Amino acid sequence: MNKPKKVAILTAGGLAPCLSSAIGSLIERYTEIDPSIEIICYRSGYKGLLLGDSYAVTPKIRENAALLHKFGGSPIGNSRVKLTNVKDCIKRGLVQEGQDPQKVAADQLVKDGVDVLHTIGGDDTNTAAADLAAFLAKNDYGLTVIGLPKTIDNDVFPIKQSLGAWTAAEQGAQYFQNVVAEYNANPRMLIVHEVMGRNCGWLTAATAMEYRKLLDRSEWLPEIGLDRAAYEVHGVFVPEMEIDLAAEAKRLREVMDKVDCVNIFVSEGAGVDAIVAEMQAKGQEVPRDAFGHIKLDAVNPGKWFGEQFAEMIGAEKTLIQKSGYFARASASNVDDIRLIKSCADLAVECAFRRESGVIGHDEDNGNVLRAIEFPRIKGGKPFDIDTPWFVQMLAGIGQSKGARVEVSH
Amino acid sequence: MNKPKKVAILTAGGLAPCLSSAIGSLIERYTEIDPSIEIICYRSGYKGLLLGDSYAVTPKIRENAALLHKFGGSPIGNSRVKLTNVKDCIKRGLVQEGQDPQKVAADQLVKDGVDVLHTIGGDDTNTAAADLAAFLAKNDYGLTVIGLPKTIDNDVFPIKQSLGAWTAAEQGAQYFQNVVAEYNANPRMLIVHEVMGRNCGWLTAATAMEYRKLLDRSEWLPEIGLDRAAYEVHGVFVPEMEIDLAAEAKRLREVMDKVDCVNIFVSEGAGVDAIVAEMQAKGQEVPRDAFGHIKLDAVNPGKWFGEQFAEMIGAEKTLIQKSGYFARASASNVDDIRLIKSCADLAVECAFRRESGVIGHDEDNGNVLRAIEFPRIKGGKPFDIDTPWFVQMLAGIGQSKGARVEVSH
Amino acid sequence: MNKPKKVAILTAGGLAPCLSSAIGSLIERYTEIDPSIEIICYRSGYKGLLLGDSYAVTPKIRENAALLHKFGGSPIGNSRVKLTNVKDCIKRGLVQEGQDPQKVAADQLVKDGVDVLHTIGGDDTNTAAADLAAFLAKNDYGLTVIGLPKTIDNDVFPIKQSLGAWTAAEQGAQYFQNVVAEYNANPRMLIVHEVMGRNCGWLTAATAMEYRKLLDRSEWLPEIGLDRAAYEVHGVFVPEMEIDLAAEAKRLREVMDKVDCVNIFVSEGAGVDAIVAEMQAKGQEVPRDAFGHIKLDAVNPGKWFGEQFAEMIGAEKTLIQKSGYFARASASNVDDIRLIKSCADLAVECAFRRESGVIGHDEDNGNVLRAIEFPRIKGGKPFDIDTPWFVQMLAGIGQSKGARVEVSH
Amino acid sequence: MNKPKKVAILTAGGLAPCLSSAIGSLIERYTEIDPSIEIICYRSGYKGLLLGDSYAVTPKIRENAALLHKFGGSPIGNSRVKLTNVKDCIKRGLVQEGQDPQKVAADQLVKDGVDVLHTIGGDDTNTAAADLAAFLAKNDYGLTVIGLPKTIDNDVFPIKQSLGAWTAAEQGAQYFQNVVAEYNANPRMLIVHEVMGRNCGWLTAATAMEYRKLLDRSEWLPEIGLDRAAYEVHGVFVPEMEIDLAAEAKRLREVMDKVDCVNIFVSEGAGVDAIVAEMQAKGQEVPRDAFGHIKLDAVNPGKWFGEQFAEMIGAEKTLIQKSGYFARASASNVDDIRLIKSCADLAVECAFRRESGVIGHDEDNGNVLRAIEFPRIKGGKPFDIDTPWFVQMLAGIGQSKGARVEVSH
């Protein structure tokens, strides 16, 4: 046992319904296991680390840390700052010209006397921290880095379930339970529910499943229009599954003719390759974010599906609805609160053993919860379209399962 | 007493969280007062009336009508069809060339043997029905038309509270309770919450008030970022109140400097005149809908505020969030269920007295609930910025009250 | 139309989840139909009427009357005072020796200038008011009395659904959803859920049905004891159905042997005749309340069933749980709020027509909602054990339907 | 690290809203840390251990263990069997004449190959397990016993917060939120809310505090009887605080005169000494349970308070309400689910270190969460009447704080 004297916490990347609860769980666990261990939280992720700007976790914060489970987002703040994006760090005034952000960050950790750094973020956030540890190791500064896998996409190798994804699916389902009522605000209505998720369809599929659970619990009265057939999910399109547009358009035109509306759930990243190809063919520049990912907000597959399908299925009106921010900024539901706590409690255990890695249920180790070695952590895990509940759902909505598609990241 | 033998119900215009519950309340009241009275519901508003396409309300529907209170939207369907928009009716194939939609509709009512027509819609829906009654009266066909005032904008003269507006404010507040957590997903973040409402700021103001009630019930921990000051509503902009952009930008820049974020609630129609003026100055065509209203969806005041303000208050990132569809497509909350029933019960009473009008609390008659004479029904009632709770809210968030602005419709 | 100038409201008898909402609904309806009509509320039922002690309904109360829907009980107070129980009225100091309470009450109504008296109570409360009206009529004082049928027993001729009964069943079900977990706090456990209801088994049957809806929505894991068979309702005993004790004991012993527990729902009045017969055989005095009803609290059928059955089915431990007060003192659920408003809105309509009676869905008139003539109002309506959902439930739990029993009142 | 091959779980003693969630948390944690470790659950506590009757935790149970968090009670069953109560074990047919239950239990554990025994129960359940371990140690069988502190009384030395107590307080508050509406079902009404808790007033005080939080969130309308003064807690009586009956009666008579009702929260064990003294003075036998505790159910302090106080404060009617079973049989709320998981996660950590003790926040060690040595575990921790929130509550309801009373156990 090599008990840390001082630990730091930082959150980074986009929001997910787990950041606040994860901060709360870590503070609560350290406080109940050994309140003598100092805790600081860097403000706005790596920005705060570079500037040496952090919250000191006072006794009052420790006593009231349970409040953090009731909030979404990250009270200590996120930012898209990446230590390897030197140009961006300079532009933001976080480092001087000629400085290496990684060196500045490392020095700050040493200056702050941090033994263990807990990062709550996506694969890029966690691997950036691992690089820091490696950097410091060369200067024999023993920094232990323990990551918690935050992403609503649930697309991190080899992690069975990432933090916040369940809540995002449940919130997206509740979002659609409201907006679906637009199905007959206009005859022959197409509603496109665009669900967040760059290159992974897990959230889209899980949101559709959660929404159909809500339909299972409703009572219907088709004689006066309360007909499950019109409230149903008619199509689920994920990047990992080939879409035979002609066949699907034919199937969905029949649905339109029958129930005068069509509701489809579409991954933000479904069909992106086709759209990007179309844009590049027209010589248009494809927008990318600080991490080099295609800036999906600017590329609008939902709108593209609306147009492509709207005409082919004879829709009179199209409504495109994005549940992204509503879902990802929510507070954690009870299942995620327990999953987060499972990981945070082990994270503190590992801190005492100075065991680095990303805490998660290791799919290559019988789903055992452990500190997964950083080198094995990778984003872009595709949604497995052979997952039983997905196969069952497609059958339930009469959609044939397309072939598996390799999604590029 | 001149008991009707057969009544018809139709819903029209955009959705609001009252249509389904209003249909249910009318069916339940007729059934419990006199089950011998036949009820039909025209499908998709005036479209169904023109085509003679309607649901017959069977004993099974009567027995299960309570289910309708659990759904949003309008199970019997809405459409934007307007009897006076002859060109549009012909284009939709609802009438032949040379036919007068009003005549076709009137004939259908006579053919269906309808004594009383209940219309649930905005001011244009209800006045269109009044015109029908006047038309039929000339041919001695005594059609009684009783309107129920559906609009989330709460902007109908002389009606104190329109149906569905309370629920829309509550749902918009819950929507923002999720997305506000984006306030620190990026340093110096501006979140623009764009609330539906063409030329009336009531829904924007009421949504802000409902959201602040949620803040009142939360506990805070500013020491670690859970600071009400960052979750607060920092500005509320409604069409009826002059906005001193320079003064507001100065005030909000100070908020940004202090809490690193600014959250403003903006009516869909706030500042539209300024935007439309800017577009017309640049010779751009202004998009309008079937009713001649400015098609707000195409004109984006939220985006304009984001840009105008973003620069003036030094925001680093702007997030524009629209709660419109989420709020208006929801099922009615308990307060609206009771308001709807108050009106529906009186509507049936008036039907027995063949008393036409729009049921509402008549602001020019001591707020008495009565069938308000059609000629006195007009849309475009401005939000009264001297309403005590609004004055109190502005004071609470440190925003000075601008002068009253006459809003053109 | 003979518009009242001043109306009075009083609540009496035991609590039911409708009194507060009924008061609120009446105040709201009078205020929205004609705010010039004065309203007073007699405090603690007939006690306040005899003492001339009442609340004046001020503008502030009218404006905030909606709050009343959020409370159980009766804010203006109930009491068991009965005008015909002269001895009791004297004992309570409400009238002097030699005074006739009915005369005192009538004089008070005249003195207060009340045109319409709304009574919210059981059959005895409402018929007492009818007697008052008849008394006043002889002195040509035109008092209109309009009763609202409050009882959780749902046992009033000829009223289809009394106010508060639905909520009581739902609350009783939620009560049992907690306490059922005692089923294995001890091996071979008998839980007797005693449900309020003097001589009518409707509430017991409806509570069992609502509880089984909660079971339908649960997921089970019998492999580790989460077995619906143990949480199930194993027996429902109502006064109107003959119980073959030997056969039921045999059936329930088999259940005990199989799932190590038995849960039975028992009407407070089930088997009371057998118990009372047993007490009178032993020369014991049977306790009665001010209305002459058997004071069920003192006679404990639940305990009697626990002993009678406990031995015959080999129970090791018996737990007797009464959900009565928890259920009857609750605020109204949404279904009851709507039923109450249906009746209150018509009550005000009738007040304008000076039409006396008890507002209810008249089972002898096709369930039409109307002011039912007082002479036809009678308590003691037995629960119809041939009701489809009851027959279906008995089949679902494997309990054979006993013969119909005439219940004495 | 000395990884166990096989662990067993048993629950014993009365119910508390934590047993099912604790079983679920242990199964989930073992499964996610090392699914190769076998788990069995003894059925009905020590009864199952003596009979060798246990559930094997199958892969299906492991996969669905999360369901256990949604149920109250203990799906694997409890019983009051105590290994040291030889006579009782023989009477129940669990051991033969002449057999020592402890020996039979120890042999069973050896036979089942159990390395670690997790007991979820009160102080007597956990110390009984410690005795077993000591017994086995003499026969060099290394059994690790890890207890989880289940009690709604929150009265275990030196544990800061026992499992299930928070939920019990919250449920008791919701129970009273219903029944308080009886406050004016009769003039001058005394409602005695009797809260479970043998010799510790924590639950009574905490239930009163949770109930007053509900009052803080309500809106009032005193002009028509919705007066917080009548819904308020007027007195809180706990065993650890001296009650000056005369002074309190005087104070509460004034409350009765003012608001026509009095609501008091009374610990099941408050004033028991005075009652027991009175019963022994009259030569009556005092009932005791298998653990030698006074069988409080038979001694009714609530009723005694009702009579003693009813007369002295001039109550016309007394209603005694017990929330005990409703509160203790409930499923865990979110705060308890997290507390239970904190303890269960550490319990599994300790199992790997073969570290025995009761998991809890050790009040004599800065509230650190650890396996507290069995010898230091004792029941009967008195409620500290100097706790700030209790002192504040008494001041808030105008009740003076009595002197501290030593409570015998």
CATH code of the domain covering residue C249:
3.40.50.460
Q: Looking at residue C19, what is its pLDDT?
A: 97
Which residue in A115, A153, A155, A336 is the catalytic one?
A: A153
pLDDT in the model for residue D234: 98
Identify whether the C-beta of residue D46 lies closer than 8 Å to the C-beta of residue D82: yes
Residue B404 domain-assigned (yes or no): no
pLDDT of amino acid D314: 95
Give the separation between CA B338 and CA B361, rounded to whole angstroms: 14
* Residues comprising chain C, all counted: 409
D123 in a known ligand binding site: yes
Residue C352 lies in a domain: yes
Is the same domain home to D108 and D147? yes
- Rounded to whole angstroms, the Cα distance separating A252 from A262 reads 7
Kindly give the pairing relationship between strand C368-372 and strand C357-362. Answer: antiparallel
Chain D 248-277, residues with CB within 8 Å of chain C CB atoms: 260
Same domain, C127 and C241: no
Taking residue C198's Cβ as centre, other Cβ atoms within 10 Å add up to 23
Q: What is the pLDDT of residue D199?
A: 79
Examine the domain organization and report whether D22 and D122 are in the same domain.
Answer: yes
- Alpha-carbon gap: D368 to the closest alpha carbon of chain A (Å): 5
Nearest to D40 by CA among D101, D115, D91, D90: D115
Q: C337 at the B interface (CB within 8 A)? A: yes
DSSP C331: P
Phi/psi of residue C52, each to 5°? 65, 35
From C9, which residue of chain D is nearest by alpha-carbon distance?
D224
- Determine if residue B326 is labeled as part of a ligand binding site: yes
Rg (CA), chain C: 23
Same-domain pairing of D196 and D225: yes
Please say whether the beta carbons of D54 and D112 come within 8 A: yes
A15 touches chain B (CB under 8 A): yes
Please say whether the beta carbons of B359 and B149 come within 8 A.
yes
| Residues β-bridged to residue D371 | D359
Report residues of chain C scoring pLDDT below 70. Answer: 1, 198, 271-282, 284, 289-299, 308, 408-409
Predicted local confidence at residue D386, as pLDDT: 97
Query: What does residue A150 show for φ and ψ, rounded to 5 degrees?
Result: -90, 115
Q: Is the entire prediction scored with pTM above 0.90? A: yes
CA distance B109 to C391: 45
- Dig out the tokens for A313 from the structure: 């299925």
| Amino acid at site C318 | T
- Nearest-CB residue to B77 (from A68, A178, A184): A184
Pairing of strands D368-372, D357-362: antiparallel
Is a pLDDT exceeding 80 seen at residue D376?
Answer: yes
Statement to judge: residues C62 and C157 lie in one domain: yes
C241 shares its domain with C155? no
SS3 D52: coil
Residue at token pair 């199970």: B75
In the numeric block, the tokens 């056969």 are attached to: C247
Residue A409 counted as domain residue: no
CA distances from C227 to B388, C219, C375 (A): 57, 9, 51
Which one-letter DSSP state was computed for residue A285? P
pLDDT at D200: 87
The enclosing domain of C61 has a CATH number of 3.40.50.450
Q: Is there a contact between C107 and D213 (Cβ–Cβ < 8 Å)?
A: no
Percent of all residues in chain D with a pLDDT value above 90, rounded to a whole number: 72
How many residues appear in chain B?
409
Listed residue (A282, A232, A291, A277) closest to A259, CA to CA? A232
Shared domain check, B183 and B69: no
Cβ distance A32 to D368 less than 8 Å, yes or no, reads: yes
Residue C409 lies in a domain: no
- Disruptive mutation site among B47, B184, B323 for chain A (greatest number of A CBs within 10 Å): B184
Please list the ranges in chain B whose pLDDT falls under 70. 1, 198, 272-282, 284, 290-299, 308, 408-409
Contact criterion met (CB < 8 Å) for A44 and B77:
no
Q: Max alpha carbon distance in chain C (Å)?
A: 75
Tell me how many domains chain D contains. Answer: 2
Name the DSSP letter for residue D321.
E
Q: Which of A64, A185, A220 sits opposite B14 (nearest CB)?
A: A185
DSSP string, A174-222: HHHHHHGGGGGSSSSEEEEEEE--SS--HHHHHHHHHHHHHHHT---BG
Residue type, D234: H
**Inter-chain contact D77–C187, Cβ cutoff 8 Å?**
yes
Q: What is the DSSP string of D174-232?
A: HHHHHHGGGGGSSSSEEEEEEE--SS--HHHHHHHHHHHHHHHT---BGGGTB-HHHHS
Please list every residue in chain A whose beta carbon sits closer than 8 Å to the beta carbon of residue D337. 334, 337-338
pLDDT digits (tens, 9 = 90+) for C167-195: 999 999 999 999 999 999 888 999 999 99
| Pairwise CA distance, residues A41 & A49, whole Å | 9
Instruction: Using a CB–CB cutoff of 8 Å, tell me whether A22 touches chain D.
Output: no
D101: Cβ–Cβ under 8 A, 6 or more apart, which residues?
Answer: D46, D50, D83, D84, D85, D86, D89, D94, D95
- In angstroms, the CA A163 to CA D200 distance is 40
Nearest to A334 among D32, D33, D334 (CB): D334
Which token pair is A73? 């987002």
Report the pLDDT averaged over residues A62-88: 93
pLDDT at residue D126, as a whole number:
84
Kindly state the average pLDDT of the residues A359-371.
97
Minimal Cα distance from B176: which residue of A? Answer: A326
Pairs of residues, one from chain A and one from chain D, whose beta carbons lie less than 8 Å apart: 58
Give the residue from chain C lying closest to B350, CA to CA. Answer: C349
What number is the average pLDDT over the span A194-223?
A: 94
The whole-angstrom separation of Cα A301 and Cα A296 is 8
Encode chain B in three state secondary structure.
CCCCCEEEEEECCCCCCCHHHHHHHHHHHHHHHCCCCEEEEECCCHHHHHHCCEEECCHHHHHCHHHHHHCCCCCCCCCCCCCCCHHHHHHCCCCCCCCCHHHHHHHHHHHHCCCEEEEEECHHHHHHHHHHHHHHHHCCCCCEEEEEEECCCCCCECECCCECHHHHHHHHHHHHHHHHHHHHCCCCEEEEEEECCCCCCHHHHHHHHHHHHHHHCCCCEHHHCECHHHHCCCEEECCCECCCHHHHHHHHHHHHHHHCEEEEEEECCCCHHHHHHHHHHCCCCCCECCCCCECCCCCCHHHHHHHHHHHHCCCCEEEEEECHHHHHCCCCCHHHHHHHHHHHHHHHHHHHCCCCEEEEEEHHHCCEEEEECHHHCECCCCCCCCCHHHHHHHHHHCCCCCCECCCCC
User: Does any CB of chain D come closer than 8 Å to the CB of residue C61?
Assistant: yes
Q: Is residue C119 part of a domain?
A: yes
**Residues 6 or more apart in contact with residue C115 via CB below 8 angstroms:** C4, C5, C6, C7, C142, C143, C144, C351, C354
Yes or no, beta carbons of B224 and A23 under 8 Å apart: yes
Domain that holds residue A364: 6-161+332-376
Nearest Cβ partner for C349 among B66, B69, B349: B349
Q: Give B34 to chain C, closest Cα distance, Å.
A: 6
Average pLDDT, chain A: 91
Question: Quick check: A63 contacting D, CB < 8 Å?
Answer: no
Round to whole Å and give the CA distance between A25 and A38.
15
CB contact under 8 A, D78 and C185: yes
Residues A127 and A174 occupy one common structural domain: no
What's the CA gap between A392 and A388, in Å, rounded?
6
What distance lies between CA B249 and its chain's CA centroid?
A: 30
In chain A, the N- to C-terminal Cα span, in Å, equals 40
Nearest chain A Cα distance for residue D143, angstroms: 24
D117 backbone φψ class: left, alpha, beta (φ>0; ψ -120 to 50)? beta
Q: Is B175 within 8 Å of chain A by CB? A: yes
Tens of pLDDT, residues D126-162:
888 888 888 888 877 889 999 999 999 999 999 999 9
CB atoms A178 and B61 under 8 Å: no
Residue D349 within a domain: yes
3-state percent helix, strand, coil for chain C, nearest multiple of 5: 45, 15, 35
Inter-CA distances, B364 with B122, B360, B375, C193, D392, Å: 19, 11, 14, 56, 51
Whether the pLDDT of residue A141 is over 60: the answer is yes
Rounded to whole angstroms, the Cα distance separating B39 from B353 reads 17
pLDDT at A162: 97
Find the Cα–Cα–Cα–Cα dihedral D209, D213, D219, D225, rounded to 10°. Answer: -20
Q: Are residues B365 and B237 in the same domain?
A: no
Vertex D407 angle, CA D404 and D409, to 5°: 165
Q: pLDDT-derived band of residue D273, with 50, 70 and 90 as boundaries?
A: low
Q: Do A344 and A307 belong together in one domain?
A: no
Q: How many angstroms separate the CA atoms of B404 and B409, rounded?
A: 16
What per-residue confidence (pLDDT) applies to B396?
97
Give the per-residue pLDDT at C207. Answer: 98
The token pair at A117 is 């750094």
> D403 in a domain, yes or no?
no
- Measured from the Cβ of residue C256, the count of other Cβ atoms closer than 10 Å reads 22
Q: Is C155 on the interface with B (CB under 8 A)?
A: no
D58 to chain C: which residues are within 8 Å by CB?
A: 223
- Same domain for A108 and A224, yes or no, is no
Tell me the one-letter amino acid at A242. E
Distance CA D385, CA D374 (A): 26
Judge: A226–B55 Cβ closer than 8 Å, yes or no.
no
Neighbours of C (≥3 Cβ pairs closer than 8 A)? Answer: B, D
Q: Are residues A185 and A141 in the same domain?
A: no
Residue C11: inside a domain: yes
Give the lowest-confidence range in A304-313, B203-212, C40-49, D101-110: A304-313
- Residue D291: the pLDDT is 67
Residues of D assigned a catalytic role: 153
Decide: B336 and B18 in contact? Cβ < 8 Å: yes
Beta pairing, strands A317-322 & A368-372: unpaired
Q: d(Cα C295, Cα C300) in Å, to the nearest integer?
A: 10
3-state secondary structure (DSSP) of residue D93: coil
The dihedral formed by the CA atoms of B338, B344, B345 and B350, expressed in degrees to the nearest 10: 150
Please say if C257 is a catalytic residue: no
How far, in Å, are B68, B196, B197, C343 from residue B297 at the CA level?
29, 10, 11, 43
